[in-house]
Amino acid sequence: MVDFGFAPIEINIHDLDKADLRLSAWISERDETFKLCIACGSCTATCTAGKFTKFSFREMCHSIRRGEISEAIAESEKCMLCGKCTLACPRNVNTRNIVKLVRKANQNFKV
Amino acid sequence: MKYHPFVIPFSIGLAFVILYIVGMWTFWIIRLSRREQKIVWKRLFSFRTIEAMWESMMEGLFHRKIFKKHALLGYMHMSLAFGWFMLIVLGNFESRLYPHGNINPPFYPIFFEFFRHDLSPLREYEEIFTFLMDFFLLLVISGICLAFFKRIKSRILGMRRTTKHILIDRIALTSLWFIFPLRILAESVTAGLYNTGHFFTNFLGQNVIYNLPLDQLYYPAWWAYSIALGMFFVTLPFSRYMHIPAEILLIFLRKYGVKEKEAHSTFTKIEQSACSRCGICIDSCQLSTDLNINDTQPAYFIRDLRYSQPNERMRETCMMCMRCVEACPVGIEIAAMRRNERREHQIFSSTGYEYLNGHTYPKAKVAFFAGCMGHLTPSVIKSTLKLFDAAGVDYTFIDKDGSICCGRPLQLGGQEKAAKQLIDKNNTLIHNTGAEVLVTTCPICAREFKQNYHLNIPVLHHSQFLLQLANDNKLKINKSELNIAYHDPCELSRGLGITKEPRELLEKVGNVVDPTKQAKNNSLCCGGSLGITNISADQKKAIAASTINQITNSETNVVATACPLCKKTFNSAQDEMPIKDISEILVQNLNHTDSKNPAQVKESKVTVSV
Ligand code: SF4
Ligand code: SF4
Ligand code: SF4
Ligand code: SF4
Ligand code: SF4
**DSSP annotation string for B375-411:** HH-HHHHHHHHHHHHHTT--EEETTTT-----SHHHH
Interface contact A104-B347, CB threshold 8 A: yes
| pLDDT over 50 (residue A85) | yes
Q: How does strand B558-561 pair with strand B511-513?
A: unpaired
For residue B400, give the amino acid letter: K
**E-state strands within B208-306:** none
The single-letter DSSP state of residue A37 is -
Cβ neighbors of B212 (< 8 A, separation 6 or more) are: none
Residues 517-536 of B with CB under 8 A from A: 528, 530, 533-534, 536
Question: ∠B391-B393-B394 over CA atoms, to 5°?
Answer: 160
Residue A3 confidence (pLDDT): 79
Following CA atoms B158, B163, B167, B168 in sequence, which dihedral angle do they give, to the nearest 10 degrees? -80
Residue B401 confidence (pLDDT): 81
Surface-to-core class of residue B446, CB atoms within 10 Å of its CB (0-12 exposed, 13-18 middle, 19+ buried)? buried
Cα separation, B304 vs B119, in Å, equals 50
- How far from the centroid of its chain's Cα atoms is residue B589's Cα? 39
Cβ of A37 less than 6 Å from ligand 1:
yes
Residue B386 confidence (pLDDT): 96
Residue B121 confidence (pLDDT): 87
For residue B366, the cross-strand partners are B395, B437
Residue A19's alpha-carbon distances to A24, A65, A69, A103, B588, in angstroms, are 10, 8, 10, 20, 56
Handedness of CA B163, B164, B168, B173 (dihedral sign): positive
Cβ of B279 less than 6 Å from ligand 3:
yes
For residue B486, the cross-strand partners are B560
Interface contact B405-A87, CB threshold 8 A: no
Residue with the nearest Cα to atom 6 of ligand 5? B529
Ligand 4 pocket list (CB less than 6 A): B 284-285, 287, 297-298, 318-324, 335
Q: Kindly give the distance from the C-alpha atom of residue B507 to the centroid of ligand 2, in angstroms, as a whole number.
A: 37
Cβ of B298 less than 6 Å from ligand 3:
yes
B465 inside 8 A of chain A by CB: no
Interface contact A46-B356, CB threshold 8 A: no
Residue B604 confidence (pLDDT): 43
The single-letter DSSP state of residue B205 is I
Surface-to-core class of residue B135, CB atoms within 10 Å of its CB (0-12 exposed, 13-18 middle, 19+ buried)? middle
- How far from the centroid of its chain's Cα atoms is residue B256's Cα? 19
> Per-residue b/e over B67-80, b at no fewer than 16 CB within 10 Å?
bebeeebbbbbbbb
Residue B525 confidence (pLDDT): 96
Residue B7 confidence (pLDDT): 96
Cα separation, B52 vs B136, in Å, equals 26
The 3 state secondary structure assigned to B428-478 is HHHHHHCCCEEEECCHHHHHHHHHHCCCCCCEEEHHHHHHHHHHCCCCCEC
Minimum-distance ligand 4 atom for the alpha carbon of B335: 1
Interface contact B404-A83, CB threshold 8 A: no
Residue with the nearest Cα to atom 8 of ligand 4? B285
Cβ of A89 less than 6 Å from ligand 1:
yes
Residue B18's alpha-carbon distances to B179, B230, B234, B304, B484, in angstroms, are 18, 12, 10, 25, 57
C-alpha closest to that of B335 among B407, B421, B287, B268: B268
Model confidence, pTM: 0.92
* Closest CB from A53, A81, A83 relative to B355: A53
Residue B601 confidence (pLDDT): 44
Cα separation, B315 vs B338, in Å, equals 7
Residues of chain B scoring pLDDT < 70: 1, 358-359, 515, 593-610
Residues 347-406 of B with CB under 8 A from A: 347-349, 351-353, 355-357, 372-373, 375-376, 401-405
Which residues on B lie below 8 Å from A100 (Cβ)? 347, 413, 533
Minimum-distance ligand 2 atom for the alpha carbon of A57: 3
**E-state strands within B530-576:** 558-561
Residue A111 confidence (pLDDT): 56
Handedness of CA B160, B165, B171, B172 (dihedral sign): negative
Cα separation, B323 vs B284, in Å, equals 6
Report the gap between the CA of B410 and the closest CA in chain A (Å).
Answer: 6
Residue A24 confidence (pLDDT): 95
Residue B452 confidence (pLDDT): 93
Residues 179-198 of B with CB under 8 A from A: none
CB B477 within 8 A of CB B470: yes
Report the gap between the CA of A60 and the closest CA in chain B (Å).
Answer: 15
